[in-house]
Structure 1
Amino acid sequence: VDPQHLPHLFERFYRIDAGRSRKVGGTGLGLPIVKNTVEALGGSISVHNGPMGGLEFHFTLEKWKD
Structure 2
Amino acid sequence: MEETEMARRVIEEIICDGCRTKGKDRKGVTTLTVGSDSYDLCQEHADRFAAYFSNLFGETTTDAVAA
TM-score by length of 1: 0.26
Answer 1 or 2: higher relative contact order, Cα 8 Å, separation at least 6: 1
Larger radius of gyration: 2
